Amino acid sequence: MRRNIILDCDPGIDDAVALAIAAAHREELKLLAITTVAGNQTIDRVTNNALKLVNFLGIKDVPVARGSAAPLIREVIPAEDVRGSTGLGDCLLPETGKAPASEQGVVFLADTILKLPQGETVTLVPTGPLTNIALLLKVFPQVKKRIDLICLMGGAAVGGNVTATGEFNIWQDPEAAQIVFHSGIPIVMCGLDVTNYCGFTETQIREMLENPNPVVHAYGEMTDFYLRSRPYCRGSIAAIHDAVTVTWLMHPEWFRGREMQVEVDCSEGQNRGMTVCDFREWAQPEKRSGVTVLLEADTEKIQKFWLEALYSYQN
């Protein structure tokens, strides 16, 4: 069946790739809406990027709503060093006259979910900080019964990127992440354990840059920025973290994971944002939080799938 999804994002180069893959598979994924959240860049910039992307990718019918401008209790700290001043590296997308469908992203999320036809549910796909999702679940708890799954990019069973133990999305708003992980809704956590190893090679990026197709070339410009960013280059590839979420939705057989309890360190210490994943299968199984943590992925199949999606655009 075609899966209803809402993409909650902070575009962001890898968010842009995730959106392109989802848009290329609209027979499998019904993209109901996009909501934005401050993270990779300020809320103004990521919302502007989302509006430009839906225009550029030919999905103008998908509404974009402006979401949270800051974490629940902290200040937003954009990541210009790894994603550029606009959030999309050196890529300048065409301007668009499209305006946000709403300036109240959390309310827009609730309305969209609660207006679904009887019997239908939605999958939330957050690829940025979890601020909007946490607010949604706290302010509008009645939506929980209409959400079948949250497939998010964030966290790690081992290690971090913004710090030794904290992954950027979770570190940006750890309090929101703790709320979401304990929501009772089934969650698939696409963390650094797999996303660090899913990406494009330098050769593939160079080939995109040389391609005359406007979409392919633009994504070459975006991902080329990662080649100059140490946190995003893992050996021979530039990691495209956020795109793992939509890939899992269509091809879960390419991944291996385990359900486990996940706690988030919300302290101000060196472990802020750490996702503490309990691998002990015998430890209090009745308290497991319903989080499936992805640990392995078939990276070659994923890479091929992404390239086929980008090259399918006929602009």
- Percent of the chain scoring above 90 in pLDDT: 86
How far out from the chain centre does Cα 287 lie? 27
Confidence of residue 179 (pLDDT cuts 50, 70, 90): very high
At 172 the three-state DSSP class reads: helix
- Percent of the chain scoring above 70 in pLDDT: 95
Q: How many CB atoms lie within 10 A of CB 269?
A: 8
Identify the active-site residue in 25, 182, 217, 241.
Answer: 241
pTM: 0.96
Tokens read off for 61? 């019918």
Residue type, 223: T
At 39-49, the pLDDT tens digits run: 999 999 999 99
Terminal Cα distance for the chain, rounded: 28
Catalytic site residue 241? yes
At 158 the three-state DSSP class reads: coil
Instruction: Please give the helix or strand (H or E) that residue 223 lies within, else none.
Output: helix 214-226
Reply yes or no on whether the pLDDT at 264 is more than 60. yes
Tokens read off for 169? 């999305």
Q: Tell me if 261 sits within 8 A of 278, measured CB to CB.
A: yes
- The span from the CA of 189 to the CA of 201, in Å, is 24
Mean pLDDT of 296-304: 97
Mean pLDDT of 226-239: 73
